[in-house]
Structure 1
Amino acid sequence: MERWSGKVALVTGASSGIGAAIAQELVKHGLKVVGLARRVEKVEELEAVLKSAPGKLYAVKADVAKEEEILAAFEWIKKNLGGVDILINNAGVGTAETLSDTGNGSWHVLDVNVKALRIFTREALKSMKERTVNDGHIIHINSTLGHSLPTGRNVSMYHASKHAVIVLTEGLRRELVQLGSKIKVTSVSPGVTVTEFMNLYGEERKKRLYAENPTLQAKDIADAVVYTLGTPPHVQKLVMERWSGKVALVTGASVGIGAAIVEELVRHGVKVVGLARRVEKVEELAAGLNNAPGKLYALKADASKEEDILAAFDWIKKNLGGVHILINNAGLGTAETLSNVGDISWRVLELNVKALSIFTREALKSMKERGVNDGHIIHINRYHLFSVIF
């Protein structure tokens, strides 16, 4: 956390619960923290308590549902502290309204949990870019309810809003990677936490939720935020940057899933060998990706013939050094039943099982020869493996 000492963090919903706990921990770690809340007197009380801490807490009043108040807060920060280095999007509201009984409460949930979050994020990024801050951090306080729906409980707009936060987090992360920015984006998803927010459910249901679920304290989430901020700047490289310049082999690359995978990998800077019988389709795709960060190499091969597979690996070894990633995508289906097995069924086994095994064997061999101990092999499978269709 030392690298953040003296930096500016903006924490929304800082008057109580998780927001107050985060503000307190950041100030204790030497940060200048702007605590934003409607009940600003609560933040001022916390500010007084933290007078002797290494950092400093600034209480700023704002209703996050009003864009003009968000913009005014950023203007205050710019004039008084220079700008924002860290944004903690913590402010959130819930509703007891069900999806079949949506009213004004549900729209307010979207205004605060989604719309305001996006405005804060936009303005924080703007602040960072204006000052050429390329290592800032944006953290969204999400919820486990954004990842899965609860059983035996009503679903509300709150759940939908937290699902939206997941999409907004990953979408922004991809945008920043494409731009070459080192600004990090993180979503922290607590479960049931003992805060004022739980009063929404009423006293009886709140007690039941506490009794039936493992509960967290606000300090636990604050600790998770501190841990996240303490990770090295390069940690987000794990998304795709570490594969830039590496070699991926994608089978069945002429159309559909294979072509889509090829395109995404090339756009992320990977050298991709697209294997297909209809090699002209891969060549067309390669022409369309000329300006992408990576490069697509079209290679003709029949994946059901071992000699073609071995020749492909030999070409890769001679021209690109070897394989780091293998995507076993080539596959074939049949309408034949098990009681009416014919030649097509044997071809299905040759392509979907035997060829996959050979590709995997040769990819592992290529990796071992070059001391590659962090490669990746991905099999494109089908859900029929896990269920029987009636």
Structure 2
Amino acid sequence: MTTTGMERWQNRVAVVTGASSGIGATLTRQLVASGMIVVALARRVPRLEELREQLPDDQRSRMRIRQCDVTSVESVDSAFDWIETELGGADILINNAGKLEGGQLATMSLDTVQQILQTNVMGVVSCTQRVFQSLRKRKTQGHVVIMNSIVGHYLFNPLPGSLQELNIYPATKHALTAITELLRQEFRDFKTHIKVTSISPGLVDTEMVPQSYKRLPLLQPEDVANAIMYALATPPHVQVHELTLKPMGEPFYVPSTGQTPYIKASRRTRVSCPIAPFSGAQSTQEEEVAGEGIEEEEAKYQNSIQFPIIVRERSMERWQNRVAVVTGASSGIGAALAKELVRAGVIVVGLARRVERVEALKEELPDELQSHLHAVKCDVGVEASVAEAFDWIEAELGGIDILVNNAGLLYSGQLLTMPVEQLQHVLQVNLMGVVYCTQRAFRSMQQRDVAGHVVLINSLTGHHIIHPPSESLQTLNMYPVTKHGITALLEIMRQEMSGLKTQIKVTSISPGVTRTEILPGDYNILPMLQPEDIAAGIMYALATPPHVQVHQLTIKPIGEPF
């Protein structure tokens, strides 16, 4: 029987702020259904009571209601005092409450600016402090989730002639991006096993989104709630650090020229003024002013791979008997993913130079599944080798529906002194190999009008350069250069696939240190992810509905020192 990964949270306490509508209400339903006791906080108590009445009779007792204004320290303290007295403390905190009101920062009421700031930033700090105190006192594992936004990472210009009316809102979301990393470091430094996760959706169909925005492609609250459930269901040593979700066809673009991002108008969007939609109207999301025992927990996850939200049985149906190509399938992440895709009913072509390893991998599968894994020799750094492999796939299997660009190369040494041939080889495999394979997969998907999926195995070093452990020399050389290139390719491909009117998704997966053959020896002393942890993240991204695109998923091991 496949598990959802939520068993360890059974009868534990989750607190959801801004639970009266939208993402908060949807997530409250899902958490209650998964067996948790949920304390729903909001100002609008009647909305919470209506939500509880909508639950099945046998679940209503697991939803507790408390009025709370997260901008008020007294209100937050009152709510959390009650939680500790009546329920013993909170194990999960979902910082969902947020506030948005249109206007220009240069002229709008300072009271309104202050209210947005207090809701979106200090409300998170107040609630997180109380949950941290409870978790630390009880020496228990916990999870803090922060509802961020794509505007917590970059800001968009309005169309010419429109006024910018997001004012302080993006500043508060950028603050949450910083708070996520600060909390991760503080939780680590306090020697806890508390996770923190930032969820950054694009436009979501909630009360908080003004009507003019609703002409654009939208995510649904369920899509964001599912992402949170995936993060909560990961094994104790796995921390989803950042998960960015976008609706397919989202018309936000990030230029490569250093300009501010903007909204691209198109016939599909039909938006005359997409970033000046407020006309003075207020929009809130409520809608609120919107250790010990870890060894036992780990043991439960070491014996089997856990796939949250039951992706094998429920969400992978559209990929049944479709063709997935996994590069670098002979070991590590590629091998772990190939096995899981086959078990999910997908036909898998494992590309590798060491093709005998893929053949051995096939022998490990149950007899009835072995025919679903095809081993094909391929060096992704050589264009002719890629062409030969993909020609075979198209001739024998009809084409490609999923491509996982997993092959990667790392030579240990210094950029200043190592042979240029080795540096060139890394560049060729890690960047040009992705281009070679993606071009062929894209051509196959476009010709057959397939809503396919391209996955790029990126790295933490695709976002920032990490210091080596201890007193070691920096030995990553060209590797972070190529992974920064993958980060850029992600957005280039998303824009191209959208501009060419396809329904092909592209996803970047950025793991921290993972136990694979590519890992330099100096890093073996650090906390690590397992290949199966990354495979589970990829399976989650593949299992999302057709309109949901996991843009960036960053996964770190608990206690990572970077």
Shorter-chain TM band: 0.5 to 0.7
1:177 Cα deviation after fit: 2.0
The equivalent residue for 2:538 is none
**Amino acid aligned to 2:188:** V
**Amino acid aligned to 1:59:** I
The equivalent residue for 1:355 is none
1:228 Cα deviation after fit: 0.8
2:194 to 183, 186, 190: 183
The equivalent residue for 1:14 is 19
The equivalent residue for 1:193 is 204
1:155–1:238 Cα change, 3 Å: closer
CA contact (8 A) 1:6 1:55 kept: no
**Amino acid aligned to 1:86:** I
CA contact (8 A) 1:249 1:272 kept: no
1:3 Cα deviation after fit: 0.9
**Aligned partners of 1:66, 1:123: CA distance in 2, in Å?**
13
Higher helix share: 1
Task: Spell out, residue by residue over 1:172-209, the C-alpha distance to the aligned partner (whole angstroms, 9 max, x if none).
Answer: 101222333211000101111111112xx3xxxx23x2
TM-score between both structures, scaled by the size of structure 1: 0.61
| Residues matched between the structures, number | 257
2:467 pairs with 1:272: no
**Aligned partners of 2:37, 2:231: CA distance in 1, in Å?**
18
Structure 2 unaligned blocks of 5 or more: 1-5, 159-163, 243-411, 417-463, 479-515, 523-562
**Amino acid aligned to 1:374:** L
**Aligned partners of 1:327, 1:113: CA distance in 2, in Å?**
38
1:12–1:376 Cα change, 3 Å: farther
The equivalent residue for 1:43 is 48
1:367-378 equivalence runs, <5 A? 372-375=517-520
2:32 pairs with 1:27: yes
The equivalent residue for 2:214 is 210
**Amino acid aligned to 2:92:** I
1:164–1:184 Cα change, 3 Å: same
1:17 Cα deviation after fit: 0.9
SS class of match (1:101): coil
1:236 Cα deviation after fit: 2.7
The equivalent residue for 2:475 is 326
**Aligned partners of 2:142, 2:241: CA distance in 1, in Å?**
17
1:4–1:116 Cα change, 3 Å: same
Provide the alpha-carbon RMSD of the alignment.
2.7
The equivalent residue for 1:168 is 179
1:1-390 equivalence runs, <5 A? 1-50=6-55, 51-53=57-59, 56-103=62-109, 104-133=111-140, 135-152=141-158, 153-198=164-209, 201=210, 206-207=211-212, 209-211=213-215, 213-236=216-239, 265=467, 270-274=469-473, 326-328=475-477, 372-375=517-520
**Aligned partners of 1:327, 1:167: CA distance in 2, in Å?**
26
Task: Spell out, residue by residue over 1:282-328, the C-alpha distance to the aligned partner (whole angstroms, 9 max, x if none).
Answer: xxxxxxxxxxxxxxxxxxxxxxxxxxxxxxxxxxxxxxxxxxx6144
1:154–1:48 Cα change, 3 Å: closer
**Aligned partners of 2:112, 2:139: CA distance in 1, in Å?**
39
SS class of match (2:208): helix
Bigger Rg, structure 1 or 2: 1
**Aligned partners of 2:241, 2:29: CA distance in 1, in Å?**
30
1:216–1:238 Cα change, 3 Å: closer
SS class of match (2:71): coil
1:99–1:3 Cα change, 3 Å: same
The equivalent residue for 1:351 is none
**Aligned partners of 2:414, 2:517: CA distance in 1, in Å?**
18
**Amino acid aligned to 1:131:** R
1:220 Cα deviation after fit: 1.1
**Aligned partners of 1:147, 1:53: CA distance in 2, in Å?**
38
**Aligned partners of 2:470, 2:137: CA distance in 1, in Å?**
34
Task: Spell out, residue by residue over 1:234-269, the C-alpha distance to the aligned partner (whole angstroms, 9 max, x if none).
Answer: 113999xxxxxxxx97789xxxxxxxx99x847xxx
1:53 Cα deviation after fit: 2.6
CA contact (8 A) 1:97 1:105 kept: no
The equivalent residue for 1:243 is none
* Stretch moving more, 50-59 or 217-226: 50-59
Structure 1 unaligned blocks of 5 or more: 240-247, 253-260, 275-324, 330-370, 378-390
Moved over 3 A (4+): 248-252
Percentage of matched positions with identical amino acids: 38
TM-score between both structures, scaled by the size of structure 2: 0.43
**Amino acid aligned to 2:147:** I
1:376–1:100 Cα change, 3 Å: farther
SS class of match (2:89): coil
Task: Spell out, residue by residue over 1:19-40, the C-alpha distance to the aligned partner (whole angstroms, 9 max, x if none).
Answer: 1111111000000000001111
Structure number with the bigger relative contact order (C-alpha 8 A, sep ≥ 6) is 2
